Chain A
């Protein structure tokens, strides 16, 4: 068996909180406690949980956007250590990230072309950047003509496609999505899920999807990791975990999701 593409062992992140009184000790919040995670090349793994579960902290640590208090992340066999950008170019070249809010994550002063080409410049990717941007715009369903637009000229769904294009333009092997569809309308959400699935199938892109949206996770992820209060409480194949949750927390979570009435045509 080959080594996983991404691996985390014993990952922990503590935050010092403000003192309760002058000169008193800083209380410590354990945002992440002893988390292990493996993601194979081309695999789709969802990290689910609610606010404060530690799932976004985990995503940040996986991409060296934050430094763990304890534990180790490896990507492609190399240790991931947060530090200056020049030491992380190899990691940035192999990974991409999409965040929740496409309004906040695109610089309004940059045209779509510049937004998407930015990682190509930063990573010194050789080749015709104009061509690479046009290709990736086509791949995310926008078309090369959009390169000249400004973010404010785009709808929320189009912006999220631009954010995705920027995340994959340099052909990473891993995409981390932190709630990439949460801010979108339901019809747009369905389109973005279809696009992510297509990128996974055609590019062999591994995906770590951080989400509280169990409907999305159920349709998209092969494996699911359930987090609660900074710990992984349960993990396994998506169908097994969501159809037959074993941990009390997962059972409560699954029970709480509102269902649509069953349609006769779906039976």
Chain B
């Protein structure tokens, strides 16, 4: 699904927070949005789905496959959210409803937007749970979010986001709240699902190393504006804008450097913490 954003402006209670953002994403393409806190990257995504906080005003244009979204009613935007776009947020603990079973939440959009019965939706939820590598899918659908680990909750959120086979997937810092070994599995899952479905992907992050893992092209946001848009490799190697240069320099000054640990690749999607350790005994300390 193609996405065209033109001169998007968002003000919250009179304060401009997104100030003329233009982006375009072709059908099946991936685009990263990167920037520091307050740069406007999350609000840009929320605007597409009509999920902005009360008191927000939006102008400009957001077109999904040529259909204008700005100015539509909440009801129409809800239909877009349910059928055509799936979104995964940073914190699955708050994005999921704590008092509803996992399976009901995975299947919810199928019931609302495609008329599935409770039973059909649950059957589908079991399949989706298996697809996102949740353990024991037949039983996990009857559990509540608090009974799951953070990584498992994020897999539930992904299953719910892809349930209707959306043509656009939006991910807003989907691994920021997770441990690094869990993050690796979730990023693998995203990569795999987006490739398999051929959906377009808008991936929002503040982490350039995560960005480089998932997308080839990204837009840099600062103070509510797109300051640069280019291949991630170019943003890192030859940034054109001073803000991008500062981001890249800081990333190289703080992120991990090292060859991959070659001899022991992890099976995709397996959280390290749950694997039996080769030897539970600690390794002798080196002087």
Contact = CB atoms under 8 A, between A and B. Distances in A.
A237 B210 contact: no
A137 to B, nearest CB: 24
Given A248-B279, A258-B213, A186 B251 contact: yes
B99 interface: no
Select the residue from A51, A216, A241, A266 with max chain B CB neighbours within 10 A: A51
A199 interface: no
B257 A256 contact: no
A20 interface: no
B258 A259 contact: yes
Contacts of B179: 50-51, 212
Interface in B252-271: 252-258, 260-261, 264-266
A187 B256 contact: no
Contacts, number: 150
Interface string B125-143: 0000000000000000000
A260 B208 contact: yes
Nearest to B263: A251
Interface string B268-281: 00001101011100
A249 B212 contact: no
Nearest to A181: B254
Contacts of A252: 181, 264, 266, 272, 275
B54 interface: no
A263 B180 CA distance: 23
Given A156-B37, A251-B264, A258-B209, A215 B283 contact: no
Contact of B285 (A51, A212, A234): A234
A231 B255 contact: no
Interface in B203-254: 206-210, 212-213, 232-233, 236-237, 246-247, 249-254
Contacts of B207: 186, 258
A232 B283 CA distance: 9
A214 B256 contact: yes
B252 A260 contact: yes
B180 A212 contact: yes
Nearest to A248: B278
A256 B210 CA distance: 11
A242 B183 contact: no
Given A185-B37, A248-B278, A255 B257 contact: no
Interface string A9-42: 0000000000000000000000000000000000
B250 A259 contact: no
A263 B273 CA distance: 32
Contact of A255 (B249, B250, B252, B266): B266
A36 to B, nearest CB: 9
B211 to A, nearest CB: 9
B252 A234 contact: no
A190 B261 CA distance: 26
Interface string A218-246: 11000000001101111111001111011
26 contacts: A50-B273, A51-B179, A52-B273, A186-B36, A193-B253, A216-B254, A218-B256, A229-B273, A233-B277, A233-B283, A235-B286, A242-B256, A249-B272, A250-B283, A252-B264, A252-B266, A255-B261, A256-B180, A256-B266, A257-B209, A258-B212, A259-B256, A260-B209, A261-B232, A261-B233, A264-B237
Which 7 pairs of residues, A with B, have the shortest CB-CB distance?
A236-B286, A252-B272, A50-B179, A258-B209, A256-B184, A248-B278, A185-B36
Interface of A: 50-52, 156, 185-187, 189-190, 193, 212-216, 218-219, 228-229, 231-237, 240-243, 245-261, 263-264, 266
Given A235-B285, A247-B279, A259-B256, 17 more contacts: A50-B181, A186-B208, A186-B251, A187-B246, A190-B249, A213-B254, A219-B254, A234-B283, A237-B287, A247-B277, A252-B275, A255-B261, A256-B181, A258-B187, A258-B207, A260-B236, A263-B252
